Amino acid sequence: MLFFIFSETFFFIALIIAYVYYRNFSDATDTVAKNLDAFRAGIFTLFLVASSITLIISKKALFKKNYTMFKIWIGITILFGIVFTIGQVTEYISLYEKQITLDKDIFGSSFFTLTGFHGLHVILGIIALIILFAISFGKLKTIAIAGIEGVDVYWHFVDIVWLIVFYFVYITPSL
């Protein structure tokens, strides 16, 4: 998992650099300022950050073999991840309604590629969390204990990447 995350880190770095470059050396800054809602995105960001906290709590419960608390907290983690994803989807719909699409201009291409790639990682993380949640109901509880380490590292990676993306996409254009 660490090797995978290491390789993904470089991919995200390249996407972030490309986004910042195109935003700064084209007319995309106007598009960002007019069409992205940093406050709204910030609210959904809080859900993603909170999901990392609930995952830590669920992991501690699992290691203590408190499966009921594990299920509750990992369920909340999954819910928070889904809320974040819904926020991203509704933002995409809003941008599409404003005729901002992947193929419209350099802003659309770099924005949707960067945030979409991150969104894909969130969805994959949610799937992994759901698998752990499902496993915790059966006789394979030891597999859940082994699996949570990889999922935990992956989920926190996705969370940290989003904080960096959020900073460069939503915060720096208004500075």
User: What is the per-residue pLDDT across 12-53, written as a single tens digit (0 to 9) for each?
Assistant: 999 999 988 887 877 666 666 678 899 999 999 999 999 999
According to the model, what pLDDT value does residue 32 have?
65
According to the model, what pLDDT value does residue 2 have?
85
Are 75 and 82 a contacting pair, CB within 8 Å? no
According to the model, what pLDDT value does residue 130 have?
96
User: What is the per-residue pLDDT across 89-130, written as a single tens digit (0 to 9) for each?
Assistant: 999 999 999 888 888 778 788 899 999 999 999 999 999 999
Q: Give the per-residue SS3 of 9-74.
A: HHHHHHHHHHHHHHHHCCCHHHHHHHHCCHHHHHHHHHHHHHHHHHHHHHHHHHHCCCHHHHHHHH
CATH class label, 38-174:
mainly alpha
Report pTM: 0.93
User: What is the per-residue pLDDT across 58-98, written as a single tens digit (0 to 9) for each?
Assistant: 999 999 989 899 999 999 999 999 999 999 999 999 999 98
According to the model, what pLDDT value does residue 33 have?
65
pLDDT, greater one: 158 or 140: 158
